[in-house]
Amino acid sequence: MAKIPGCQPRFQRPGGAPAVGCRLTGRPMPAWNRTVKKPLPIPGVLPFAPIGWDTCRRSSLQADLEALLFSTEEPLTVDRMKAALGLDTTQVLGGLRELRRKLAEDEGGFILQEVGGGWRLATRAELDKHLATTLGRARTHLNETLRDTLAIVAYRQPVTRALVEAVRGVPCADSLRQLLDLGLIRMAGREATLGRPVIYRTSRKFLLWCGLRSLDDLPPLAGA
């Protein structure tokens, strides 16, 4: 057990145990302040945990989940994560929710989203401009005509072109074709009426693009 003259506690160790930090005071310190019960810290290694360290630190489960989510661009379902980690639903969901909270508190480049029936890591929306500049990738932006057409399909699906045009009051063939090319809507069969018109629905990519878990998460229409 070593003693260092003129030392007093300056930091707080995890669990409340005092850590010593030397400061010359010009007068003797009480013996309890001068006693070092553990070896001196290794140079370059903090002898204490910074305030808030435990708040952002990942548990083993959270680290495993983060690695799984980082390894794929597509959202992972809870079932796939359960199979990979050998855990039950409660454990996986608890780890995901805690990881989402810690990522939000980190205020880093990633967030955890529950979308399209699964979970995924995504970059923060405010960083899109940097990604577009550096990687040449930008979020898909729709003009007003495409937005209006997509909204009608989303809220009135399943719909035919005739119904979309009746709501908008203008031809919508080109808009529907562009939305199909973008993968935001899909053809879901044909109506059993004269001419057998195509039926349109939103796709899973629409949920991912909007950041929605399901169509139930669509915001309510004004005045509805």
Tokens of 79: 């079932």
In whole angstroms, how far apart are CA 159 and each of 156, 172, 192? 6, 12, 13
pLDDT in tens, 184-196: 999 999 988 888 9
DSSP state of 125: G
- Our measurement of the distance from residue 114's CA atom to the centroid of its chain's CA atoms, rounded to an integer in Å, reads 7
pTM tops 0.85: no
State the Cα–Cα distance between residues 193 and 206, nearest whole angstrom. Answer: 28
Which residues does residue 36 pair with via DSSP β-bridges, in sequence order?
2
pLDDT score at 24? 44
Q: At what angle do helices 89-106 and 60-70 cross, to 10 degrees?
A: 80
DSSP state of 197: P
Per-residue pLDDT at 49 exceeds 80: no
Q: Which CATH number fits domain 144-217: 3.40.50.300, 3.30.365.10, 1.10.10.10, 3.30.930.10?
A: 1.10.10.10
pLDDT score at 116? 84
Per-residue pLDDT at 97 exceeds 70: yes
Domain regions of the chain by residue span: 2-50, 55-135, 144-217
The highest-level CATH class for domain 55-135 is mainly alpha
State the Cα–Cα distance between residues 118 and 191, nearest whole angstrom. Answer: 31
Least confident of 80-84, 105-109, 127-131: 127-131
H/E run at residue 32: helix 31-34
pLDDT score at 31? 45
pLDDT score at 213? 85
What phi, psi does 19 have (nearest 5°)? -110, 150
**DSSP 3-state of 42:** coil
Give the mean model confidence (pLDDT) for residues 93-118: 88
Pairing state of beta strands 159-160 and 2-3?
Answer: unpaired
Same CATH topology for 55-135 and 144-217: the answer is: yes
Per-residue pLDDT at 131 exceeds 90: no
